[in-house]
Amino acid sequence: MLLVTGATSHTGKFFFKRLELENYPGKIRCIIREGSKVGWLKNLKLNIEFFKGDLTNIESIRECFDDVDTVLNIAGIHYSIQIVELGLEKNVNWFICVHTTGIYSKFKSASKEYKKIENLMSKYSEFTTIIRPTMIYGGKQDKNMWKLISYLDNSYVFPIFGSGKNLFQPIFARDLGNAYYEVLLNKINVKGKNYDLSGGTEVTYNSILRTVSSLLSRKNLYIHIPIWFSLALLFLYKLLKKRSFSVSYEQILRMKEDKVFSHLNARRDFGFTPITFNEGINLEVEEYKKEKIMLTNLGNKYEKL
């Protein structure tokens, strides 16, 4: 039996849609929180059962490992150690854990905890496959590009910390969901290995902004703010306002850091072939436009009532 955490997540939805498309015959058990919206999961033509539990209370999910041979942990890196240790007690023999390429950041506060977790997991490496995606985008649930698209659509001026020449290689959510499925099918090739999963294109931050603006038919004004000056402004803001700001010092400093990683090992071992950034962002902007039209029509409808 396959046990899945984070089934209702952004990439989890794409994974389950792929399972249905491929007529996956195996039994699946999903750990869900009280109140989780699982109607769409119940409607899939899959053999799914649900176990209500809380990953922050590992004892509450002990029984859900009964009769399980494989675990897919989409819920996050912070749960991996406890899931693996408890699963091994219950004779689970394979754990697919979705982590993050944030582990490679040169800034300690961004990577220290991730490195600690993976170091602890190294003693269980023969039972695990670790997947490290880059920044995930693609769809309304996307907390990265969707916010950027909305901001550029509704604001003329956009500040850029630094030169904007730092590189990104974001991965489309559907590609990541499909990757979970391909990993599941290729146990012999992938068990005991780690993979970085990146998008099909390396793009600069400036290029991302220009592409989104173009797709929105917007002419935004980009203002580049030197890193040192950005840090000084943030310091003064916090000093005078005495409250937190949505941007941290580290986020500003990381604008000097490239976030590109090779996915060639994943292509070799399980056929990972991500779409280009232009393809992915086109799909997301189109979804954003449809959502905007729908909300506008709803607003007009209520005004008439």
| Cα atoms in the Cβ-side hemisphere of radius 13 Å centred on 171 | 28
Is residue 201 a contact partner of residue 276, using CB atoms and an 8 Å limit? yes
> At CB < 8 A and 24+ separation, what contacts does 78-85 make?
78/113, 78/117, 79/5, 79/55, 80/117, 80/121, 81/117, 81/120, 81/121, 82/55, 82/58, 83/5, 83/55, 83/58, 84/121, 84/124, 84/127, 84/128, 85/124
For range 74-94, the mean pLDDT: 95
Which residue segments constitute the domains of the chain, with CATH numbers given? 2-137+170-199+260-275 (3.40.50.720)
25-39, 89-103, 241-255: which has the minimum mean pLDDT?
Answer: 241-255
The DSSP letter of residue 246 is: S
Residue 301: its pLDDT value, please? 62
Q: Report residue 221 CA to chain centroid gap.
A: 29
Residue 239: its pLDDT value, please? 72
- In this model, does residue 243 exceed pLDDT 60? no
Is residue 110 a contact partner of residue 261, using CB atoms and an 8 Å limit? no
For range 174-183, the mean pLDDT: 98
d(CA 289, CA 150): 10
Q: Which helix (H) or strand (E) holds 172?
A: strand 171-172
pLDDT confidence bin for 111, thresholds 50/70/90: confident
Residue 227: its pLDDT value, please? 82
Residues of the chain with pLDDT > 90, as a percent, come to 74
- In this model, does residue 51 exceed pLDDT 90? yes
d(CA 4, CA 83): 11
- In this model, does residue 300 exceed pLDDT 80? no
**Whole-number average pLDDT of the chain:** 91
- In this model, does residue 139 exceed pLDDT 70? yes
Residue indicated by tokens 């935004």? 220
Residue 252: its pLDDT value, please? 72
The DSSP letter of residue 275 is: P
- In this model, does residue 35 exceed pLDDT 90? no
Residue 235: its pLDDT value, please? 77
For range 290-297, the mean pLDDT: 86
**The tokens of 154 are what?**
């509704």
Residue 245: its pLDDT value, please? 57
pLDDT confidence bin for 228, thresholds 50/70/90: confident
- In this model, does residue 304 exceed pLDDT 90? no
Residue 82: its pLDDT value, please? 95
Q: How many CB atoms sit inside 10 A of residue 8's CB? A: 19
d(CA 274, CA 262): 12
d(CA 133, CA 78): 15
Among candidates 85, 191, 83, 68, which has minimal Cα distance to 129?
191
5-19, 103-117, 291-305: which has the minimum mean pLDDT?
Answer: 291-305
For range 174-179, the mean pLDDT: 98
d(CA 4, CA 180): 11
Residue 140: its pLDDT value, please? 87
Q: Which residue has the higher pLDDT, 244 or 57?
A: 57
d(CA 202, CA 205): 10
- In this model, does residue 267 exceed pLDDT 70? yes
- In this model, does residue 248 exceed pLDDT 70? no
- In this model, does residue 109 exceed pLDDT 70? no
The strand pairing partners of 95, in sequence order, are 71, 128
pLDDT confidence bin for 9, thresholds 50/70/90: very high
Report the predicted TM-score, pTM, of the whole model to 2 decimal places.
0.91
* Rg, C-alpha atoms of the chain: 21
Residues of the chain with pLDDT > 70, as a percent, come to 92
Q: How many CB atoms sit inside 10 A of residue 49's CB? A: 10
For range 199-203, the mean pLDDT: 97
